[in-house]
């Protein structure tokens, strides 16, 4: 428990910062041109906040490991599965869902979740080493 809360905080901050940059850049460049007819005028903050709280817990519970390569591999797999679940379900159920969105989102899921897993692992390792 001594390392879980700081690791959770590291994962959460990493997810929030990286996604803010991604969404700030990619909504106008990628999402709005492809999905304008589906996008809300503004994001709903409650479900978005709940996603980040839940996803950070998933990263810490499923991807944080003492060894860097294992944390990176588990983070990448978790990101691929989680983002792939959303995007492949959208592709299966929504009319005219663009393949480019699915590919971009799945790649981003791998990147952001790997980064969060590595950040949380780093914090956990530092605290464990202190002792």
- pTM over 0.85, yes/no: yes
Provide the number of structural domains found in the chain. 1
The pLDDT confidence band at residue 126, using thresholds 50, 70 and 90, is: very high
The rounded distance, in Å, linking the Cα atoms of 73 and 13 is 20
pLDDT in tens, 80-108: 999 999 999 999 999 999 999 999 999 99
Closest CA to 56 of 94, 123, 113, 121: 113
Give the phi and the psi of residue 37 in degrees, each rounded to 5.
-70, -15
Domain of 13, in residue numbers: 4-130
Q: What is the pLDDT of residues 48-74, one digit of tens each?
A: 999 999 999 999 999 999 899 999 999
């Amino acid at each position: 428990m001594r390392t879980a809360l700081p690791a959770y905080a590291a994962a959460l901050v990493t997810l929030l910062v990286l996604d803010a940059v991604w969404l700030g850049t990619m909504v106008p460049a990628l999402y709005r041109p492809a999905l304008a007819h589906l996008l809300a005028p503004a994001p709903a903050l409650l479900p978005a906040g709940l996603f980040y709280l839940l996803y950070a817990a998933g990263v810490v519970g499923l991807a944080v490991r003492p060894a860097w390569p294992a944390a990176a591999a588990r983070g990448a797999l978790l990101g691929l599965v989680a983002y792939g679940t959303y995007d492949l379900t959208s592709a299966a159920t929504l009319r005219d869902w663009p393949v480019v969105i699915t590919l971009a989102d799945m790649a981003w899921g791998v990147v952001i979740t790997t980064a969060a897993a590595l950040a949380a692992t780093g914090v956990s390792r530092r605290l464990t080493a202190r002792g």
